Structure 1
Amino acid sequence: MRTLKFSFISLIVSGCTLHADISPKNNELNNALVGVPYYAQINIVGGNVASLKNSYGDREPVGNISPDDSGLYLKHCNDNKYDNNCIEIRGTPTRTGVIKVRISGFFNVAMFQKTDEFDKTYTINIKGAEGYF
């Protein structure tokens, strides 16, 4: 009886934990060329990603791009500022090198749920017009 009780409680608790599944799975996004518009999409599945507000009260995508002057930026998919489960990387690269895109955050939770934090860094290789770094 004790084993059955323990198994039941374990099942209930494990069912209340949210787990982030981020795609694409690998850590590299498609290469880009200087002066050519770039687009990539990152999807976060497993729960409703919490919205974070900046100092102006606007909701921002959950992540950042470095270096800041790369010509690329993060944006909510479909211009929906409440949907943080889908993030777009857009822009026109302005220089060659390696760009790092960090996506991090956590899920909104309901009673008896445990949230899962996520943190993933992608790289984008920016090549010159000739295809070289």
Structure 2
Amino acid sequence: MSKLHLIFVPCFFCLSACTFLSPKAEFIPENEVLKQATVNTPYRFKIDILGGPVFRGVDRKAGSIIPADSGISVRYCQLPEEEIKDMKPMDSNNYNCVELYGTPTKPGLLKINISSGMYGHMFAPGSYFSKDYTLTVVNP
């Protein structure tokens, strides 16, 4: 019985340690309240995602904004042109960066959700993340 303990305890420890090694997403900015926007004034703001490579794909959405008719949109940041000119296939998105852009059309509070996942590695599975932000749009 003690020989089984010598085998199972280290194996159990190694398996449980894998979940601790899963990539954890960190965001810049960390706080949930973003820089204020003004109606009819162009707005641009970047959110960086740290901790590992974010899932890629043409059909992936960068996030969602509620209400959708606010004039603000969300997309993945673009890589610099010198990085994409030799890429095959040509994918110019930086999936570790999300950009809010547009011209707000009405005042109010916008709720922004950024969610996706990070690739795992040999010792840990991939992980999912979700981060909520709020953006206040004011009249000039």
> Which TM-score band applies after superposition, normalised by the shorter structure?
0.7 to 0.9
Distance in structure 2 (CA, Å) of the matches to 1:91 and 1:39: 7
Distance in structure 2 (CA, Å) of the matches to 1:19 and 1:63: 18
Partner of 2:36: 31
Per-residue deviation, residues 1-21 of structure 1 (Å, max 9, x unmatched): x5x947973796256411111
Distance in structure 2 (CA, Å) of the matches to 1:109 and 1:15: 12
Q: Helix, strand or coil: the match of 1:62?
A: coil
TM-superposed deviation, 1:61: 3.9
Larger Rg: 2
Partner of 1:57: none
Partner of 1:68: 68
Structure 1 unpaired stretches of 5+: 55-59
RMSD of aligned C-alpha atoms? 2.6
TM-superposed deviation, 1:114: 1.8
Runs of 4+ in 1 over 3 A off after TM superposition: 4-8, 79-82
Distance in structure 2 (CA, Å) of the matches to 1:53 and 1:76: 11
Structure 2 counterpart of 1:19, one-letter code: K
Residues 117 and 128 of structure 2 are in contact (CA less than 8 Å); yes or no, is this contact kept in structure 1? yes
Q: Taking structure 1 as the reference length, what is the TM-score of the superposition?
A: 0.78
Distance in structure 2 (CA, Å) of the matches to 1:116 and 1:109: 7
Q: Taking structure 2 as the reference length, what is the TM-score of the superposition?
A: 0.74
Partner of 2:14: 9
Partner of 1:99: 110
Identity %: 31
Partner of 1:116: 127
Question: How many residues are matched?
Answer: 124
Structure 2 unpaired stretches of 5+: 1-5, 80-90
TM-superposed deviation, 1:44: 0.7
